[in-house]
Amino acid sequence: GAVVSQHPSRVICKSGTSVKIECRSLDFQATTMFWYRQFPKQSLMLMATSNEGSKATYEQGVEKDKFLINHASLTLSTLTVTSAHPEDSSFYICSAIRYKGGTGETQYFGPGTRLLVL
Amino acid sequence: AQTVTQSQPEMSVQEAETVTLSCTYDTSESDYYLFWYKQPPSRQMILVIRQEAYKQQNATENRFSVNFQKAAKSFSLKISDSQLGDAAMYFCAYRRNPRAGGTSYGKLTFGQGTILTVHP
């Protein structure tokens, strides 16, 4: 099946620094990717929709200047947490949509990135 | 806006028994998809089953089946012959049909999740 990877799988950083998380679709092209945030034992909350070649669409309440999203190619979207603070510590998950003629579209999830800000 | 509600924060079942997880949703759309996702301790999201709203027949995938009641906006998941590997957090999710157009293409709305424990 289709695979979506994320890198790094976990990262620890100091407060005030920036962290970049990569999301790659390994065997298909994805014009649309999504970024989610998940706190322990809670649901996934959509942060933004990443569109290849255009600006990301952010959900209400998500600071676009803090969570920078770049979707520069059909297989890569990046999420940069700028000036990270301890409250940004969370599990970040990306997903990508794959289009396939017979089965339509399917959304595949990455394995997630655990961010800890000290 | 669409909402998805899972009213059971936790459920438990004995191995080999059957368990049903509940999900209700609210939408003004008539064409949409519903999903059940499994998130094991690894936290990798795994698609369990998908239901298209315009299909009256309930979807099934091996031991997993759904009871889709469109008028009641209910979408429950039944797991038969439960196995230890079924232990996970289960999420019900809604997505409007992209053919309907608009800017919410592909966006999933998740329920709060249900933690399923399987006892040996």
pLDDT digits (tens, 9 = 90+) for A5-57: 999 999 999 999 999 999 999 989 988 899 999 999 899 999 999 988 888 99
> Residue A53 has what pLDDT?
84
Q: Does A30 touch chain B (CB under 8 A)?
A: no
Between B103 and A5, whose confidence is greater?
A5
Q: Does A9 touch chain B (CB under 8 A)?
A: no
Mean pLDDT, range A104-118, rounded to an integer: 91
Closest CA to A87 of A44, A42, A37, A21: A37
Q: Is the peptide bond before B41 cis (omega within 30 degrees of 0)?
A: no
d(CA A16, CA A21): 16
Which residues of chain B lie closer than 8 angstroms to A105, CB-CB?
98, 106
Q: Does A93 touch chain B (CB under 8 A)?
A: yes
Instruction: Please list the helix, strand and coil fractions of chain B in percent, rounded to the nearest 5, in that order.
Output: 5, 50, 45
Decide if B45 and A34 are in contact by the 8 Å CB cutoff.
Answer: no
> Residue B100 has what pLDDT?
62
Angle among Cα B36, B38, B44 to the nearest 5 degrees reads 130
Could you identify the residue written with the tokens 């998805």?
Answer: B4
User: Which chain B residues have any C-beta within 8 angstroms of a chain A C-beta?
Assistant: 42-45, 47, 89, 91, 98, 103, 105-113, 115
B99 pLDDT exceeds 80? no
pLDDT digits (tens, 9 = 90+) for B15-65: 999 999 999 999 998 889 999 999 999 999 999 999 999 888 999 999 999
Which residues of chain B lie closer than 8 angstroms to A41, CB-CB?
89, 113, 115
Integer CA distances (angstroms), A26 to A109, B20, B105, in order:
12, 35, 22
Which residues of chain A lie closer than 8 angstroms to B91, CB-CB?
43-44
Q: Does A91 touch chain B (CB under 8 A)?
A: yes
d(CA B98, CA B108): 11
Decide if B43 and A91 are in contact by the 8 Å CB cutoff.
Answer: yes
d(CA A25, CA B29): 30
Q: Does A94 touch chain B (CB under 8 A)?
A: no
d(CA A93, CA B35): 18
The Cα of B120 is separated from the nearest Cα of chain A by a number of Å equal to 23
Burial grade of B8 (CB within 10 A; 0-12, 13-18, 19 or more): middle
pLDDT digits (tens, 9 = 90+) for A58-76: 999 999 999 999 998 999 9
> Residue A101 has what pLDDT?
66
Task: Among B98, B107, B111, select the one facing A43 at the smallest CB separation.
Answer: B111
d(CA B75, CA B25): 8
| Chain B nearest-CA residue for A111 | B44
Decide if A93 and B108 are in contact by the 8 Å CB cutoff.
Answer: no
d(CA B59, CA B46): 16
